[in-house]
């Protein structure tokens, strides 16, 4: 994991930071009234996720972040006299539109799955099917380009005798023929299996990772107290850009990602996934043998000040249960009256009922699997069918937060977001922004997540400190 981190996760995070540097510098050069850049941070996060998954899983690097950064700089300068930089050619030709196409395909899939159940307006199912099939066809073309590049890269390594550790691609290539042989109808060959499994990595990984990173940076931008504590923790670790270090914090190392190294930053990420779980729709399970009984509160309490009476419900074998994670993660009955608040400290208290050090985890590790532990926090689901990519996701998210937040300040662009993430009256999540909240295949903010971004240390400031 460490060597893959060095050449994939860290390099993608650094590329995102370099892109933000160029975007901020272009914004400063193009404006006399502002030194900050405004951008949809979710878009940058999605390109970063694309780079991480491709490099980590397939051993080839894309430059989705660099290309996006160049496009944004061009847009900033289109009305000025500055010469716009060229957009670099894609490192994996044919895969450069993967992020956009995946989101179009996800939108089509959401319409196909959900809209037929909405009976209050006409629905043309055939048009949605056609839209979804066309989107998926183009996504498959992108995935094919990645697979071809991965094959070429492996062949080159073998030719020069370079021994590399296994990638997801090499493992899938080995088992794909065996999986295809299990198809009784014989409709899939090894290539089709490989394309399908590779596509799942992108479908499951890009939107989820990008939204989580964007939500976390947005919540930090909206909560100065929390942001200050993260700054202090990063500064103590030498990972914060300051005038004293010339705007160049030390390079991120694999050991920096642990909860013991940066406990508060990890608590911030956990709290972000609690408040805004991207898999908000939750997960479904079928009740096993013999069923089970569960004590649940009545629908209505006798009065606001009195707890509801409890009743026992029996779930027989074969019943399908749906666990909506957004409800679970935001229930006041579980998290307390401050459930709507962004409060990372709740994940620093090992005695809290929703936190456990079970299964050998570090102190403060979110509950994950012991039979007698409470299951109230499950951003990646739990059990045998939990998220297979959660290790990669957690590692990448922490690394990206360290690098980006360590080098830039973030603020909510209230004009483009039409409000704040904080409701002034109660300290909770802003009603104006989250009126655009939508649960499709993932929880997302329609119209993007617009933040104002500023370098913590500008080039001119470094010179001033040196003179002093």
Average pLDDT estimate for 152-175: 83
Supply the pLDDT for residue 263.
Answer: 94
313 and 260 in a common domain: no
Residues 257, 291 within the same domain: no
Answer yes or no: do 423 and 306 share one domain.
Answer: no
Residue 264 belongs to some domain of the structure: yes
Q: Residues 183, 306: one domain?
A: no
pLDDT score recorded for residue 129: 64
Same domain, 16 and 153: yes
- Residue 132 sits in the same domain as residue 18: yes
pLDDT value at 215 more than 60: yes
CB 374 within 8 A of CB 365: no
Say yes or no to pLDDT of 433 above 50.
yes
Among 19-33, 234-248, 284-298, the range scoring the smallest mean pLDDT is 19-33
**209 in a structural domain:** yes
Work out the average pLDDT over 12-22. 94
Residue 313's domain comprises: 286-319
Flag whether pLDDT at 81 surpasses 70: no
More confident residue, 135 or 170: 170
Band of the pLDDT at 127, cuts 50, 70, 90? low
pTM listed for this prediction: 0.86
| pLDDT tens column, 91-101 | 999 999 999 99
In a domain, 273, yes or no: yes
| pLDDT over 70 (residue 408) | yes
Considering the domain architecture, whether residues 25 and 170 belong to the same structural domain is answered as: yes
With respect to residue 99, please indicate whether it lies within any of the assigned structural domains.
Answer: yes
Q: What is the percentage of the chain residues whose pLDDT exceeds 70?
A: 77
Residue 378 within any structural domain of the chain: no
pLDDT of 35 higher than 70: no
SS3 per residue for the chain: CHHHHHHHHHHHHHHHHHHHHHHHHHHHHHCCCCCCEEEEHHHHHHHHHHHHHHHHHHCCCCCHHHHHHHHHHHHHHCCCCCCCCCCCCCCCCCCCCHHHHHHHHHHHHHHHHHHHHCCCCCCCHHHHHHHHHHHHHHHHHHHHHHHHHHHHHHHHHHHCCCCCCCCHHHHHHHHHHHHHHCCCCCCCCHHHHHHHHHHHHHHHHHHHHHHHHHHHHHHHHHCHHHHHHHHHHHHHCCCCCCCCCCCCCCCCCHHHHCCCCCHHHHHHHHHHHHHCCCCCCCEEEECCCCCEEEEEECCCCCCCCCCCCEEEEEECCCCEEEECHHHHHHCHHHHCCCCCCCCHHHHCCCCCCCECCHHHCCCCCECCCCCCCCCCCCCCCCCCCCCCCHHHHHHHHHHHHHHHHHHEEEEECHHHHCCCCECCCCCCECCCHHHHEEECCCEEECCCCEEEEEECCCHHHHHHHHHC
> Does a structural domain hold residue 240?
yes
Considering the domain architecture, whether residues 35 and 168 belong to the same structural domain is answered as yes
Residues 183 and 307 in one domain: no
Whether 368 has a pLDDT exceeding 50, the answer reads: no
Do 31 and 169 fall into the same domain?
Answer: yes
Looking at 299, 319, 339, the residue that finishes a domain is: 319
| CATH number of domain containing 109 | 1.10.630.10
* Strands 450-455 vs 408-412: parallel, antiparallel or unpaired: antiparallel
- Higher pLDDT pick, 1 / 335: 335
Q: How many residues are recorded in the chain? A: 468
The whole-number pLDDT of residue 427 equals 47
Residues 215 and 163 placed together within one structural domain of the fold: yes
Total number of domains in the chain: 2
Average pLDDT, the chain: 82
Q: Mean pLDDT throughout 117-132?
A: 57
Q: Is residue 381 predicted with pLDDT exceeding 70?
A: yes
Give me the DSSP letters along 328-346. HHH-HHHH-TTTTS--GGG
- Indicate whether 373 belongs to any domain: no
pLDDT of 143? 95
Q: Check residue 214 and give its pLDDT.
A: 94
Looking at residues 6-18, what average pLDDT do you find? Answer: 92
pLDDT band per the 50, 70, 90 thresholds, residue 265: very high
User: Is position 17 within any domain?
Assistant: yes
Residues 404 and 295 in one domain: no
The pLDDT tens digits for 39-73 are: 999 999 999 999 999 999 999 999 999 999 999 99
State percent of the chain over pLDDT 90. 43
* Residue 382: per-residue pLDDT: 79
- pLDDT for 212 beyond 50: yes
Q: Which of 115-124, 346-355, 398-407 is the most confident on average?
A: 398-407
pLDDT at 423 over 70: no
């Amino acid at each position: 994991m460490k060597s893959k981190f060095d050449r994939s996760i860290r390099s993608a995070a650094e590329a995102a930071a370099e892109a933000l540097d160029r975007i901020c510098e272009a914004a400063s050069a193009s404006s006399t009234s502002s030194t900050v850049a405004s951008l949809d941070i979710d878009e940058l996060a999605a390109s970063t996720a694309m780079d991480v998954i491709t490099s980590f899983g397939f051993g080839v690097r894309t430059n989705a972040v660099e290309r996006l950064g160049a496009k944004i700089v061009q847009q900033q300068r289109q009305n000025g006299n500055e010469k716009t930089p060229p957009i670099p050619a894609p490192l994996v030709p044919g895969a450069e539109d993967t992020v956009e196409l995946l989101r179009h395909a996800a939108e089509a899939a959401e319409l196909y799955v959900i809209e037929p159940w909405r009976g209050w307006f006409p629905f043309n199912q055939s048009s949605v099917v056609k839209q979804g099939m066309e989107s998926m066809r183009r996504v498959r073309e992108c995935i094919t380009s990645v697979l071809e590049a991965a094959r070429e890269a492996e062949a080159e390594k073998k030719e020069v005798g370079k021994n590399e550790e296994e990638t997801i691609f090499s493992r899938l290539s080995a088992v794909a023929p065996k999986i295809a042989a299990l198809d009784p109808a014989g409709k899939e060959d090894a290539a089709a299996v490989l394309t399908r499994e590779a596509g799942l990595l992108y479908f499951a990984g890009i939107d989820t990772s990008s939204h989580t990173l964007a939500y976390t940076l947005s919540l930090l931008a909206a909560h100065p107290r929390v942001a200050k504590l993260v700054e202090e923790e990063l500064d103590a670790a030498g990972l914060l850009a300051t005038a004293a270090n010339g705007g160049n914090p030390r390079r991120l190392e694999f050991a920096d990602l642990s909860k013991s190294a940066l406990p508060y930053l990890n608590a911030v990420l956990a709290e972000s996934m609690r408040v805004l779980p991207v898999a908000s729709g939750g997960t479904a399970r079928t009740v096993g043998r013999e069923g089970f009984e569960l004590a649940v509160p009545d629908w209505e309490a006798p009065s606001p000040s009195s707890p509801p009476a409890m009743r026992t419900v029996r779930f027989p074998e074969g019943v399908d249960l749906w666990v909506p994670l957004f409800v679970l993660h935001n229930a006041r009955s579980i998290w307390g009256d401050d459930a709507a608040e962004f409060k990372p400290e709740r994940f620093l208290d090992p005695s809290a009922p929703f936190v456990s050090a079970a299964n050998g985890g570090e102190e403060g590790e979110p509950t994950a699997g012991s039979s007698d532990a409470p299951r109230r926090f499950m951003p990646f689901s739990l059990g045998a069918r939990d998220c297979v990519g959660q290790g990669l996701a957690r590692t990448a998210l922490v690394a990206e937060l360290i690098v980006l937040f360590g080098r830039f300040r973030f603020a909510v662009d209230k004009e483009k977001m039409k409000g704040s993430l904080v409701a002034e009256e109660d300290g909770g999540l802003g009603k104006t922004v989250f009126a655009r909240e939508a649960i499709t295949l993932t929880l997302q903010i329609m119209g993007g997540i617009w933040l104002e971004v500023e370098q913590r240390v500008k080039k001119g400031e470094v010179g001033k400190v040196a003179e002093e």
